[in-house]
Chains A and B, each alone.
Chain A
Amino acid sequence: MSHPFRIPVKLPSSATCRSAGVYTSGALFSLGFWFFVDAAVYSKVANPGDVHIKFPEWIPLICSVLGMLIINSIEKSRLMADSFSYSGGDVAWKAKLVLFMGFAMLAGGLAGSVCFLILGYIVPEYPWPTLYFGVANVIANSLIMLSCVSLWLSQNIEEDYTYNLSL
């Protein structure tokens, strides 16, 4: 295989990239989840004010996690099927619909958390330790979105050094 750069740089194999992508995805998911749990525990235990994280603020997180599960359960070959491939023509639009629902839930979770930040924390103009609860929610949802992206990309790396990143 000819090298893509002038200096022969040895790129890692696709199997290593794929495992690294999956590990990174787990790490990002964990980071996002624990940011939110940290904010929830802090609001219960060490809170200087009297604003707490209540159950409705967990809903964007639940939505994002469900969206991530849905998106990563789809096999990419079913999306690109036409009437001559093994999955048949019917499966393609159903798979695309499910993928759309998954993306919608993921984006909805992020949008919901930004809503909670603006309406619940920025508009009443709370000071920093209380504002952290809303910011942590947004950080958690965006890290879960990044984790989903990393997992989707790494599961769709094909063999033979081709990186087919078209969506």
Chain B
Amino acid sequence: MAGLKTIIALSFVLAIGFLLVILSSALFGNYFPLLVVATYCLAPLPNAVCSRWSNPDDFESTGPGLDLGRFLTGFFVVMGIALPAALAHSGIIQVSAMVMSILGGLLIYGTIISFTMFFQEESDF
């Protein structure tokens, strides 16, 4: 059992992550940092889609379909950091907005990954 306290703590961290991202765009009136949330919500999807697609029944740990999902996930995770850095470098968003949105995005992504790990452990028997 994952523990009620763990689930509450993870939800709290997710809420802080969303708060940071919303603040990073609302404080400066510029809504580009919300793209970071979209990127980090997209990031676990290729792994999930490709693992369902390539092995619906048996468990298989390697293969080109799974590799594509992992490649895309790595791409999106770094994009979530690189996109705000590129926007801040060109002056489209402020540097503090960039820092807040990167931290918030990483917290959101970390929470999603922790939730998937906890649910997988529960279903192993």
Contact = CB atoms under 8 A, between A and B. Distances in A.
Interface stretch (B13-21, B89-97, B113-121): B89-97
B77 interface: yes
Contacts of A37: 86
Interface of A: 15, 18-19, 22-27, 29-31, 34-35, 37-38, 41-42, 45-46, 151, 155
Given A30-B79, A34-B79, A41 B74 contact: no
Q: Looking at A24, A26, A31, A38, which has the most chain B CB atoms within 10 Å of its CB? A: A26
Given A18-B62, A30-B79, A151 B71 contact: yes
B35 interface: no
Instruction: In the A-B complex, list the 5 residue pairs whose CB atoms are closest, starting with the nearest.
Output: A26-B74, A34-B82, A38-B86, A30-B78, A26-B71
13 contacts: A19-B70, A23-B70, A26-B74, A29-B71, A29-B74, A30-B74, A35-B82, A38-B82, A38-B89, A41-B86, A41-B90, A42-B86, A46-B90
A151 B73 CA distance: 14
Contacts of B75: 26-27, 29-30
Contacts of B77: 26-27, 30
A26 B82 contact: no
Nearest to A43: B90
Nearest to A35: B82
B74 A45 contact: no
A155 B82 contact: no
Contacts of A18: 62
